[in-house]
């Protein structure tokens, strides 16, 4: 796993801990197993983008994307958040 990935994962874990989220609480809030959260934070295997985005959303991390060539009236961060919300709906089915 690349160091950049580890930095981002460590950042999420630190932020989650600061906000009072244990690994158990994270797993219950996002609807996955505690062992998946443990493996994610301990860099075991390849990190799941879905898990990364779910934990990011839970702890309040927002991503900002910029498309310098687009003339769309909807900023990319709004489209990204809509896509993330739709993933949550699919997971809840």
- Taking the whole predicted model, whether its pTM rises above 0.85 is answered as no
Question: Which of 39, 36, 35, 31 is closest to 57 using CA atoms?
Answer: 31
Asked whether 37 and 27 are in contact (CB, 8 A), the reply is yes
Beta-strand ranges (E) seen in 1-93 are: none
Task: Provide the residue range defining the domain that includes 79.
Answer: 3-92
Residues 6+ apart with CB under 8 A from 47: 1, 5, 9, 40
Domain count, the chain: 1
Which tens digit of pLDDT belongs to each residue from 16-67?
A: 999 999 999 999 999 999 999 999 999 998 878 889 989 998 998 876 666 6
Q: Is the pLDDT of residue 82 over 80?
A: no
**pLDDT at residue number 26:** 97
Q: Is the pLDDT of residue 93 over 60?
A: no
Question: Which of 36, 90, 37 is closest to 59 using CA atoms?
Answer: 37
pLDDT band at 77 (very low <50, low <70, confident <90, very high): low
Question: Which of 48, 57, 46, 47 is closest to 80 using CA atoms?
Answer: 57
CATH number, position 87: 1.10.260.40
């Amino acid at each position: 796993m690349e160091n950049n990935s580890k930095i981002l994962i460590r950042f999420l874990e630190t932020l989650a801990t600061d906000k009072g989220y244990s690994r158990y609480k994270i797993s219950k809030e996002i609807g996955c197993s505690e062992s998946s959260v443990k493996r994610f934070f301990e860099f075991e295997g390849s990190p799941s983008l879905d898990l990364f985005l779910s934990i990011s959303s839970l702890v309040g991390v927002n991503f900002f994307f910029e498309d310098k060539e687009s003339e769309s009236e909807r900023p990319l961060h709004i489209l990204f958040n809509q896509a993330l919300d739709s993933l949550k709906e699919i997971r809840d089915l």
